[in-house]
Amino acid sequence: MSKKNVVKFFASVVFSSIPVFLTLAVFLSTAAFAQVPVTANPDHKAMLASKDPKLATNKKLVYDFWREVFEAGHTELASKYITENYIQHNPNVATGREAFIAFVTKIKKTQDIADKVLKPLVAITAEGDLVILSFVSEVKDPKDATKTYTTTWFDMFRIENGKIAEHWDNMLKL
């Protein structure tokens, strides 16, 4: 077979196979987008652990703040956990401890403090002065309101002198 015929043969195979390759690519890319549901980690004690005592302390600070102040609505404990000049990056909450207290007071009724964080917690990550709480978030499917899917919600906190000084999350403006 001549070089010219080899090139023609190769070209005919490649170009006749393009529809097959495209179909396969679409199928594989769709499969790649199939979601694995986000699930909570029930072992909060293990998530709070760290070989670094400072990181373990920071994790526990944020965890207890979340349980006592945010989930249980005990705003009288806010000064124990957050700085007076607390910086807030959530677009729906003003900066400052007093603004945070006003926000929580508006959205939460005071209740008993649970032993564990109630919201389904996936992970607690700490690095330097930052702690991230990752949660399961269940949302309505925009294509079918009768269905839901899970995704991950993040709250990140910066610790300064043993208190929460700054907060970020992925909240959009309401």
Q: What is the pLDDT of residue 173?
A: 86
Q: What is the pLDDT of residue 171?
A: 85
Claim to verify: residue 101 and residue 139 sit in the same structural domain: yes
Contact 76, 155 (CB under 8 A): no
- Global confidence as pTM: 0.79
Contact 73, 61 (CB under 8 A): no
Claim to verify: residue 48 and residue 11 sit in the same structural domain: no
Contacts of 38 (CB under 8 A, 6+ apart): 122, 136, 137, 150, 151, 152
Convert the pLDDT of each residue in 29-40 to its tens digit: 444 555 899 999
Q: Which of 34-38, 69-73, 97-101 has the lowest mean pLDDT?
A: 34-38
Whether the pLDDT of residue 57 is over 80: the answer is yes
Claim to verify: residue 48 and residue 118 sit in the same structural domain: yes
Q: What is the mean pLDDT of the chain?
A: 87
Claim to verify: residue 63 and residue 97 sit in the same structural domain: yes
3-state secondary structure the chain: CCHHHHHHHHHHHHHHHHHHHHHHHHHHHHHHCCCCCCCCCCCHHHHHCCCCHHHHHHHHHHHHHHHHHHHCCCHHHHHHHEEEEEEECCCCCCCCHHHHHHHHHHHCCCCCCCCCCCCCEEEEEEECCEEEEEEEEEEEECCEEEEEEEEEEEEEEEEECCEEEEEEECCCCC
Domain that holds residue 113: 44-169
Claim to verify: residue 77 and residue 110 sit in the same structural domain: yes
Claim to verify: residue 52 and residue 128 sit in the same structural domain: yes
Q: Which of 10-19, 28-37, 48-57, 116-125 has the lowest mean pLDDT?
A: 10-19
Residue 72 lies in a domain: yes
Residue 52 lies in a domain: yes
Residue 136 lies in a domain: yes
What average pLDDT does range 130-151 have in this prediction?
Answer: 94
Whether the pLDDT of residue 125 is over 50: the answer is yes
Claim to verify: residue 8 and residue 60 sit in the same structural domain: no
Whether the pLDDT of residue 27 is over 70: the answer is no
Whether the pLDDT of residue 23 is over 80: the answer is no
Please tell me the total count of domains within the chain: 2
What average pLDDT does range 94-115 have in this prediction?
Answer: 96
Whether the pLDDT of residue 45 is over 90: the answer is yes
